[in-house]
Amino acid sequence: MKVSNTERKLLDDVGYVLLPGLMDAEFLSTLRRETEAIFAREGDAAGSEFKQEAGSRRLANLVDKGAVFREVIGNPVVLSLVAQVLGSDYKLSSLNARSVNPLSPDAQPLHADMGAIPDASGYWVCNSIWLLDDFTSENGAPRVIPGSHRFGLLPQDALEDPACGHPDEVILTGAAGDVIVINSHIWHGGMGNHTDCPRNALHAFYARRDKPQQQYQKALLRPSTQALLSTELRDLLALDDPLNDEMSSRDHRLSGFMK
């Protein structure tokens, strides 16, 4: 799949772009099956490496939990868009799953991931949302404020109540198999699920190389997993990066909403 100039301009200008059908049917089916198997295996401990959330099921540290997830983080189409946001010097920050429970009406307030504001070097967080189910206006798709990645402000500092509706908000809908790449400085928040089915997605989250990882991969990945990784994936995961060790080892479960 080739990303068009129009799609690249959308990412620059509004802060997100939808890639329809990036996952083929077989890959989508495998991701769904493997994700559900991990939820079943981990039970009440699911997501505990990072965070757990009322009204949702979560998984964390998915790079360590199957080869199919390592295909997600190295997808060249997505990485080309991540590089557009962050520049060429970036790394994986975390790979998680979030499943919004049926009939869970509570929504997240508007936020920027990791409370990130662009600095003198520019943007430093970028997310990709892998739709394992359709995203609709009723089942917990995220809302975003187009262009807010350029505000240089966090919504909690600019809005009276970030949990309230915003006049400029757009609901990010799509079909299972689509991927959304989003500049994570954009104001956004997951909506409540008003249907009787869960809404599942993966989040491959990237950071600029000079920032800490949300989840310190070197501490989380088993030696047996690290031994399987290509040179390219080791670099993407910053496994041999002393600066990343220094920054990320201070706390390998950094806080911050991830839709």
CB 192 within 8 A of CB 140: yes
Measured CA to CA, the distance from residue 199 to residue 102 in angstroms comes to 8
* Residue 216, both tokens: 């310190």
- Residues facing 1 on adjacent strands: none
Is pLDDT above 60 for 254? no
Instruction: List pLDDT tens digits, range 10-36.
Output: 999 999 999 999 999 999 999 999 999
Average pLDDT over residues 215-220: 96
CB 139 within 8 A of CB 182: no
H or E element at residue 156: helix 155-158
CA–chain centroid gap for 115, Å, is 14
Measured CA to CA, the distance from residue 252 to residue 67 in angstroms comes to 22
Instruction: List pLDDT tens digits, range 171-184.
Output: 999 999 999 999 99
Number of Cβ within 10 Å of residue 85's Cβ equals 24
Measured CA to CA, the distance from residue 157 to residue 161 in angstroms comes to 9
125-131/199-208 β-pairing: antiparallel
| Mean pLDDT, the chain, whole residue set | 95
Instruction: List pLDDT tens digits, range 96-148.
Output: 999 999 999 999 999 999 999 999 999 999 999 999 999 999 999 999 999 99
Q: Which residue ranges form the domains of the chain, and what is each CATH number?
A: 5-248 (2.60.120.620)
Look at the block and give the residue holding tokens 């991990």. 38
**pLDDT confidence band for 249 (50 / 70 / 90):** confident
CB 68 within 8 A of CB 30: yes
Q: Which residues contact 103 (CB under 8 A, 6 or more apart)?
A: 193, 194, 195, 196
Q: Which of 78, 42, 74 is nearest to 60 (CA)?
A: 42
Percent of the chain with pLDDT over 70: 97
* Residue 221, both tokens: 């990945």
Measured CA to CA, the distance from residue 193 to residue 106 in angstroms comes to 8
**pLDDT confidence band for 6 (50 / 70 / 90):** very high
pLDDT of amino acid 227: 97
Report the phi/psi class of residue 194: left, alpha or beta, with left for phi > 0 and alpha for psi in -120 to 50. Answer: alpha
pLDDT of amino acid 255: 39
**pLDDT confidence band for 1 (50 / 70 / 90):** confident
Backbone angles phi, psi at 12, to 5 degrees: -65, -45
